[in-house]
Amino acid sequence: MTPTAAPTSRRFFGRKVFAVIGSQNLHRFWREAAYCLSGGIALALLTLACFRFQSNIATATCLYLIVIVLVSLRGSFISSTLVSIIAVACLDYYFTPPLFSFQVRDSINIVAIAAFGTTSAAITGLVSRVRRLMEEKLQQSEAYLLEARRLSNIATFSWTASTGKILWSEESLRIFQYDRTTTPKMELVLQRVHPEDVALVKQTIERAAQDGMDFDFEHRLLMPDGSIKYVHIVAHALRDKSTALEFVGAVMDVSERKRAEEALRQAQADLEQVSRLNTIGELTASLAHEVNQPIAAAVTDASTCLRWLTRDHPDLEEAREAASRMVMDATRAAEIIKRIRLLFNKSAPERESIDINEIIREMIVLLRNEATQYSIFFRTDLAEDLARVMGDRVQLQQVVMNLVINAIDAMKDVDGTRELIIRSQQAEDGQLMVTISDNGIGLPPQQADQIFNAFFTTKPHGTGMGLRISRSIVESHGGRLWAGDNSPRGASFHLTVPTQVEARE
C-alpha cells in the first residue's frame, strides 16, 4: 500500500466498522438489557443464598465479584457498571450494620464497601476495554477480508447438494452479473456458463454431489453482453454424517490472468517463429519453394512451345507466346535468386563483445514456458567471471536456441525425469565451452555422424538445417560444435568459441 493510500483506506475501514456497529444498535440494546436483568437476578439469588447459609460479608463480596466479572465478559461497560452499582447497594443494605438500611456505621465497613466498589469498577473497565479492542480488531479484519475478496475477485459460496440450496457472497453477484435481489439457484449459475463448457460443469458438479469429493476446475462464462470470463472454482466437501452433504468454496475471476497468459504464449510463439524463420535452413526451404514455382511453369511453357512447333503445321504465334511466358518465368526465378543473395549480404555478422552466460540466461527465459509444458527442468552451471567473446549476438543466440529446442524435442516423449543442463566453463587455449545436455531419446543410432549434414532430420516436420547452420555459425566465430552421448541417457552438445583476448590475437 502506498503512503498516500493508507489514510484513505483507514477512513474507508473506519466507516465500514462504524456502519457495522450502527446496524446492530437495537439488537445490542436488548442484549444489554438481558445481561443487566440476569446479573440482577444472579445477585438476588446469591443474596438469598448468603442469608440462608448465614454467610459473612467477605463471602458475599467474593460471590458478587464473580457475577460482575461474568457480566463484564458477556455484556457492555454500561450493563456491567449497572450490575456493579446494584452489587454495592446490596452489600451496603444487606450485609453492613445496621442491616436493611443504606447507612454504614463503622468506618471499617465504609472502607470495605469503597474497596469493593473500586475493584468492581476496575474489573468492569478493564474487561470492557479488552473486549472493545478485540471486537474492533475483529470487525476491522472482517472489513479487510471483505475488501481483499473484492480486490482479488474472489467470491464465496456454499451449496447443499441434496436440496440444491445455494448461498453466495456479494462478489458472486458481480462475477455472474446478477442483481442483489436474485435468489441464487443452480439454473442461474448454469445459464451463465459458456455453452461449450456446460457439459464439463454439469459433469463435475454431478460427480461431486455423488462422490462427496472436493472439486477444483476452470471454465468460461458467457455474459449477456457477449463477453467471456474465465472463472476458477474450488470447493471443499463437508462430510458431516449428521447433516446433508455441503460444499463450501470460492469462485475466482481469472479472466485477466488468462488473457495475460494467452498474450504471453502468443508472443513467445511469434518470437520462436521469427527466430526459427531467421535460420538459413527455413529460408532455404521457403526460397527453394518460391524458385521451384517459376521453374516448373517454365518447363510447362517449354513443352507447350515444343508441342506448337512439332505439329504438322507449326503454330508460330502460339509457340512465340509460350516462349515469352518462359522468358518471364525464368526472369522471375532469377529475381528470386537475386533477392536471396541480397538477403545473405545483409546478414553479414556484426561483431561485438558478448557475455555468453547472458545469452544462455536470455534463452532460458524465452524457452522456459515451452519446457514447463513438457515438465522439463532447466539446470544451469555457469562459470562466474567468464571471459567475454567477440561475435554476432543474434547468431550465437540462434545457436543456443536451436540446441535447447532440439534438447526439448528429444525429451518431450521420454518417461522419467526430464532435465536440461546448460554448463559454461573456461576451456583450454583461451576458448570458452558451452555444454547442453539432455536426458532425451539420444542421438539417432547408426546415424549420429550425419546429424550435422544439411537436410538430415529424424523429425516429421524437421528441416534438418538447424545443426548444419549452427555449426557454420560457430565455425565462423573460430569455434567448434560437436555432439556426443550423455550418460546414462540422452545427448550432449558442446560448442567452443575463442574468448575476446584470443579472438583479437
Please state whether beta strands 154-160 and 166-168 pair in parallel, antiparallel, or not at all (unpaired): antiparallel
Q: For ligand ADP, which is the closer residue by CB, 76 or 435?
A: 435
Q: For ligand ADP, which is the closer residue by CB, 17 or 414?
A: 414
Question: At closest approach, how far in Å is the CB of 235 from ligand ADP?
Answer: 44
For 156-175, b/e burial (b = at least 16 CB within 10 A) is: ebbbbbeeeebebbebbbeb
Whole-Å CA distances, 271 to 264, 281, 408, 436: 10, 17, 17, 22
Q: For ligand ADP, which is the closer residue by CB, 339 or 459?
A: 459
d(CA 83, CA 449): 98
| Residue in the block written with cell 465479584 | 65
d(CA 453, CA 414): 25
Question: At closest approach, how far in Å is the CB of 492 from ligand ADP?
Answer: 8
Q: For ligand ADP, which is the closer residue by CB, 191 or 284?
A: 284
HSE, side-chain direction, 13 A CA sphere, residue 166: 21
Q: For ligand ADP, which is the closer residue by CB, 139 or 457?
A: 457
Q: For ligand ADP, which is the closer residue by CB, 376 or 467?
A: 467
In degrees and rounded to multiples of 5, residue 254 shows phi and psi of: -110, 20
Is the distance from CB of 441 to CB of 410 less than 8 angstroms?
yes
Question: At closest approach, how far in Å is the CB of 504 from ligand ADP?
Answer: 31
Q: How many CB atoms lie within 10 A of CB 456?
A: 16
Question: What are residue 220's DSSP bridge partners?
Answer: 230
| Element of type H or E holding 484 | strand 480-485
d(CA 279, CA 456): 15
HSE, side-chain direction, 13 A CA sphere, residue 388: 11
Question: At closest approach, how far in Å is the CB of 302 from ligand ADP?
Answer: 35
Q: For ligand ADP, which is the closer residue by CB, 184 or 466?
A: 466
Question: At closest approach, how far in Å is the CB of 251 from ligand ADP?
Answer: 44
d(CA 290, CA 272): 23
Evaluate the omega torsion of the peptide bond into residue 294 and state whether it is cis, within 30 degrees of 0: no
Question: At closest approach, how far in Å is the CB of 486 from ligand ADP?
Answer: 9
Q: For ligand ADP, which is the closer residue by CB, 298 or 451?
A: 451
d(CA 127, CA 80): 10
Question: At closest approach, how far in Å is the CB of 403 from ligand ADP?
Answer: 7
d(CA 65, CA 120): 7
End-to-end CA distance of the chain: give it in Å, rounded.
Answer: 56
Q: For ligand ADP, which is the closer residue by CB, 349 or 462?
A: 462
Q: For ligand ADP, which is the closer residue by CB, 165 or 480?
A: 480
Starting at the earlier edge strand, list the strands of the sheet with 215-222. Answer: 166-168, 154-160, 246-253, 228-238, 215-222
Question: At closest approach, how far in Å is the CB of 442 from ligand ADP?
Answer: 6
Question: At closest approach, how far in Å is the CB of 418 from ligand ADP?
Answer: 12
Question: At closest approach, how far in Å is the CB of 315 from ligand ADP?
Answer: 49
Q: For ligand ADP, which is the closer residue by CB, 193 or 410?
A: 410
In degrees and rounded to multiples of 5, residue 225 shows phi and psi of: -85, 5
d(CA 268, CA 303): 48
Question: At closest approach, how far in Å is the CB of 382 from ligand ADP?
Answer: 20
Q: For ligand ADP, which is the closer residue by CB, 39 or 281?
A: 281
d(CA 90, CA 103): 12
Residues in contact with ligand ADP by CB under 6 A are 402, 406-407, 410, 438, 440-444, 451, 456-459, 462-468, 491
Question: At closest approach, how far in Å is the CB of 275 from ligand ADP?
Answer: 13
